[in-house]
Structure 1
Amino acid sequence: MNDKHIRILYTIPNFNTAGSGKSVYDLVSGLDRSIFEPEICCFHNKGAFFKEVEALGVKIHIFPFTSAYKPRLGFLSRVFKIRNFFKTHQFDVIHSWHWSSDISEPLAAKLAGIPYVYTKKAMGWESRYWKWRSQLSSKVIVVNEDMMSFYFSKMLHKAVQFPLAIDVNRYQPTLGSDVMREQLGLSVNDFVIISVANLVEVKGIETLLDAVNQLDNPKIKVLVVGGDSSDYAVMLKSKYKAYSHIKFIGKQLDVRPYLALSDLFVIPTKDEGRREGIPNAPLEAMAMNRIVLGSNISGIRDILKVFPDCMFQADDISDLKDKIKTIMNLSEDKRLALETQMRRRVVDEFSIEDFIERHQSLYQELVKSNLSS
């Protein structure tokens, strides 16, 4: 280890979307540089968010830090190439933000003798490789309570729970732009509902759109922000193209101007497949004083558990419809109070300062343990 700095390598496949990328960005920009020296490794330099990360001025490696398992005959030799990369650069800790159950990366780190930690961001444990990945890791960072009880009850020594976080100075209460409002065809008297998500089927966007259509209220407008080129997104745009009150905005690097125009944020994720860990989007909305409604599922429940009336049964159009009506009918005083409470929840429980401090302490603990072993 360098006498002065602890060298942390963050591995992430790409910066095509800003979900995990934002967390890596926050960690790299927030680490105490008198103690830590962060670097990043990814598969390629594409993606809208890559330029933002590049501007941080840290070293970025473009290198395949995982390997396919087949052909099996050459698997170990391919792992040793990754191991040699890790060893050559003398990293002190490797922190993976890869979404998959890959075991080649933690195996390479183990062969290199470097402490390895990965962040388990999404629900899902079907593959046996998740257990193997966890056993090969020095620590696993889990982001919600259900992960601890569902997946790590028999290996609690491996797991630590750190909720994801956002920068509440970046996401602050803001008035919407009148120019943008006009461009989107919105009136100041409209009730604007927004959902921000990577448009894949598990996000359950049609639950929201069907609930709004059943309300049949001309004041309600819906903004759907997120990548709109997937098969699911194409299906949604085709299915709802006749409804002028539903607007598909596409992927936006900065969602704050759209959140500022909204009255309500809805995250209608289904209770199936690769569900939420701790989604960033509702936290960003809450930090901007926006009321959030969400499915009563893992991850979202961690955020909204102190607001039980703001959760609805996943896939339940009628339940969501009733929740939207309730929010629309709140008095101005109750609405303002709920908005304030939601921002306070994010400031108190999901602050970026605590997020960075917890990671710094873990890295120091891993390095100390590795030196003494």
Structure 2
Amino acid sequence: MTKRIKILFTIPNFDTAGSGRVVYDLIAGLDRTRFAPEICCFHGKGAYFETIKSLGVPIHFFEFTAPYRPFLSLPFRVWRIARFFKQHQFDVIHSWHWSSDFTEPLAARLAGVPFVYTKKAMGWGNRAWRWRSQLSRKIIAINTDMQPQFFSAMAEKVCYIPLGVAVDYFKPLPKRYTTPEGLVFSDTDFVVVTVANLVPVKGIEVLLEAVGMLDDARVKVLVVGSTESAYARALQDQYASEQVHFVGKQLDVRPYLAVADVFVLPTLSIGEGLPVALLEAMSSKRIAIGSKVSGIKDVLRLRTDLLFEAGQVSDLSSKIKRILEMSHKERGVLQKQMRLITLEDFKIESFVENHEKLYTLISK
């Protein structure tokens, strides 16, 4: 029997679904006759961790990165990580860490294990990213802007693999008028939903100002995301009303997508990696509007009329108004197109298959 390729997936935590769901879907989809996945994270806390445990794969709790300072003892800390990698005889290490940390790929290099990382966001701007990239065997870019912006000098290392969505889990949802916490909408309301990690780059205030510009009491907004940050609290203080509801972080966003007439992602100009929340909404047969930035442009490339200039309140307001004024039939046609885009370009099966090809290639 051919030896299975032993892959270690590293990720700091499973505090939210986010990247955790992507890692879950990837591991769940791997052919277990050919691949033996394991997970390494810093701790077993987090709302999504119980879901991860259901995969039934080995999970290690280990600090797979090291602080840079003090520099004098850094080699010893990196060697400790390398010993862990070597002890478990991994064939591939795939990092889902958001950070520019270079100690993890350096440890993998010392252990003789091929290292690949997924570039999840559009942040850059320090030398550590270059070192992390140079120490990697391969880099996975999840949108089409990453290679020319970040990796033009090392294009041979870069694989373009857009994220995927589980289309059988996020399937067309019948329209609902209530949420799990008891918010009730009428059939004359027009519900706008956004799902995001509530940090300034997400531009939620642009959406709320755009809705305010409409001056239409029928338009209601649901903001799904943790309300614990200073930014989120400031948004609540300024915008929460009978028309705008903040419902907090939700592990299962489907009940909120079910009430949506339109889904909006108003990310500012720095852009996204590839917004899974947008894919989930579209796969659920919801009309999606997004800012014209990295990542979102890839998802809506076939419907550029649903893109608006990042940060432009009036542009977004006009896009929402256009959907609001559509007939039921016109909305139905557009909803079908949203679902079709995910089926043709962003199915989780294609995402998994492309990773399997990469792991097979670099483990030889």
Q: TM class by shorter-chain length?
A: over 0.9
- Is this contact kept in 2: 1:181–1:261, CA < 8 A? no
Find out whether 1:254 has 2:259 as its counterpart. no
Spell out, residue by residue over 1:218-276, the C-alpha distance to the aligned partner (whole angstroms, 9 max, x if none): 110000001110010011011113x211000100000001101100000000113xx31
| Secondary structure of residue in 2 paired with 1:183 | coil
Q: CA deviation at 1:175?
A: 1.6
Q: CA deviation at 1:332?
A: 2.1
Counterpart in the other structure of 1:371: none
| Secondary structure of residue in 2 paired with 1:157 | helix
Mind listing any 5+ residue stretches in structure 2 that lack a counterpart?
Answer: none
* CA–CA separation in structure 1 for the residues paired with 2:230 and 2:351: 35
Find out whether 1:309 has 2:305 as its counterpart. yes
* CA–CA separation in structure 2 for the residues paired with 1:127 and 1:179: 46
* CA–CA separation in structure 1 for the residues paired with 2:180 and 2:126: 46
Find out whether 1:109 has 2:108 as its counterpart. yes
| Secondary structure of residue in 2 paired with 1:165 | coil
Aligned partner (choices 322, 329, 338) of residue 325 of structure 2: 329
Counterpart in the other structure of 2:335: 339
Q: CA deviation at 1:124?
A: 1.7
Counterpart in the other structure of 1:265: 263
Q: CA deviation at 1:17?
A: 1.7
User: What aligned pairs does 1:283-302 form with structure 2 within 5 A after superposition?
Assistant: 283-302=279-298
- Is this contact kept in 1: 2:180–2:255, CA < 8 A? no
TM-score, normalisation: structure 2: 0.98
Q: CA deviation at 1:333?
A: 2.1
- Sort the Cα spacing of 1:362 and 1:182 in 2 relative to 1 into closer, same or farther, 3 A: closer
Counterpart in the other structure of 1:186: 185
Q: CA deviation at 1:185?
A: 2.8
- Sort the Cα spacing of 1:305 and 1:40 in 2 relative to 1 into closer, same or farther, 3 A: same
| Secondary structure of residue in 2 paired with 1:261 | coil
The letter of the residue matching 2:292 is N
* CA–CA separation in structure 2 for the residues paired with 1:39 and 1:359: 15
Find out whether 1:23 has 2:19 as its counterpart. no
User: What aligned pairs does 1:215-254 form with structure 2 within 5 A after superposition?
Assistant: 215-241=214-240, 243-254=241-252
User: What aligned pairs does 1:153-164 form with structure 2 within 5 A after superposition?
Assistant: 153-164=152-163
* CA–CA separation in structure 2 for the residues paired with 1:322 and 1:174: 26
* CA–CA separation in structure 1 for the residues paired with 2:220 and 2:181: 13
* CA–CA separation in structure 2 for the residues paired with 1:267 and 1:309: 14
Q: CA deviation at 1:3?
A: 4.7
- Is this contact kept in 2: 1:181–1:187, CA < 8 A? no
Query: C-alpha root-mean-square deviation of aligned residues, in Å?
Result: 1.2
- Is this contact kept in 1: 2:177–2:185, CA < 8 A? no
Count of residues in correspondence between the two structures: 364
Counterpart in the other structure of 1:281: 277
Counterpart in the other structure of 1:129: 128
The percent of aligned pairs where both chains have the same amino acid is 54
Mind listing any 5+ residue stretches in structure 1 that lack a counterpart?
Answer: 369-373
The letter of the residue matching 2:263 is F
- Is this contact kept in 2: 1:199–1:227, CA < 8 A? yes
Spell out, residue by residue over 1:173-213, the C-alpha distance to the aligned partner (whole angstroms, 9 max, x if none): 11244553892031122100000001001000000001101
